Amino acid sequence: TSPERRHGFDFWHAYGTYDAHMRPMYWATDTPRDGAFYVDQWGPEYEADVAVRYLNNENGEYRDPDRPFALVVAMNPPHMPYDQFPQRYLNAYEGKTYRDLLVRPNVDFEGDSAMSVLARTHTKNYFAMMTGVDEQFGRILAALTEQGLEDNTIVVFTSDHGNSLGTHGQVSKNTHYEESMRVPFLVRWPGEIPPRQDDLLLSTPDVSPTVLDLMGFADQIPAAVEGVSHASVIRGGDGARPTSQLYLWVPVGQPEWGRRGVRTHLYTLMISKMPGEPTEIVLHDNLEDPYQLENVAGENPDVVERLVREELTPWLVRTADPWRR
C-alpha cells in the first residue's frame, strides 16, 4: 500500500495476508512494493513485538512522545490453517478433548462430513490460537502500563467476524448464525469508562465514529461516515440505541442478489435471493433457541413481516441497497 493510500498512518508494518502464520510476510514503512520480507516467528507474537517497540519508543525512534497516537494491531489468528501456532499454547488444554471445549448442540462432532472432521480436528487448535492471541495482546497492555500510558489511552479489542468451525455445518464466516455474526467488542479507558457489560446492538460501521467521539472529535466526523456514534452509551449507558443490526452477504459483482437480514435482541431473520432459486426465509428465536437449531419462519409470518417492515426495510433504504426491488 503506497504512502498516499495509508489513511494518514505514518508508521506502517503491513501483513501480507497469505495465511502462513509461522512465517508471515510484511511490508514496513519504507519497504518498496517488491521488497516484502518474511519473519520466522508466529505472526501475533511478532506483531506484538513491533507494537511494544512502538510504545516503548526508544530514543524517540517511532513517534513524537509529546503527541497522541493511534496504533492499530490487526492479528490474523485465530485463522486457518489451524495447525500453525506455537505448540505451547496447547498446554492450557492438556487432557481436554473437542467435546470438553465446544459444548454446543449445533455441531455434529461424530458425522462423516468435512465440517464434522473440521470440528473434531481443529477445535482444540482454535482455542490454543485464542490463548496465544490473548497472551500477546496482554503484552501490549503491559507495555502501555510500563510507559505510564494506561490511564490516557483508549484500548479497543474486537474482531472483524466470528467463526463457525463446523457448527451448523458451516466452515467459517459470512453466515447469519451467532457464531459468525457476534464478535467481542471491549473498550477500556480507566477513569472515563466504568467497567460493565452492555447489550448495545453495535454494528461495524459504528466503531469509527464511536471511537472518534470518545477521543473528542465528534464535530470532525465526516458526513460520509455511515455509522453512528454510541460514545454516550459506552461512557455510561445513556443514549439512543439501535433496535437491530444489519446482516448482509453479497455475491461478488451481484449486489442485487445474496442474503439480507437483521438481528435484534430476540430474533435473527435471514432472507436469501439467488438467481434461479426460490426465496429462502429463516427466522430464529434467539431467546427460546439460543443455538439456532430451528427455523420458525413458517410458524411466525407476522414476526417475519414486522421485522421486514420495521427493521430490514429501513436498513435497505438507508444504505440504498439494490437487493430491495
C-alpha cell at 297: 419462519
Residue pLDDT, tens place only, 207-247: 999 999 999 999 999 999 989 999 999 999 899 999 999 99
Which residues fall within 8 angstroms of residue 258, CB to CB, at 6 or more apart?
A: 248, 249, 250, 251, 272, 273, 274, 323
- Residue 298 makes CB contacts below 8 A (sequence gap 6+) with none
pLDDT the model gives residue 166 = 93
Q: Say what the pTM is.
A: 0.93
Q: Which pLDDT tens digit goes with each residue over 167-207?
A: 999 998 999 999 999 999 999 999 999 999 999 999 999 99
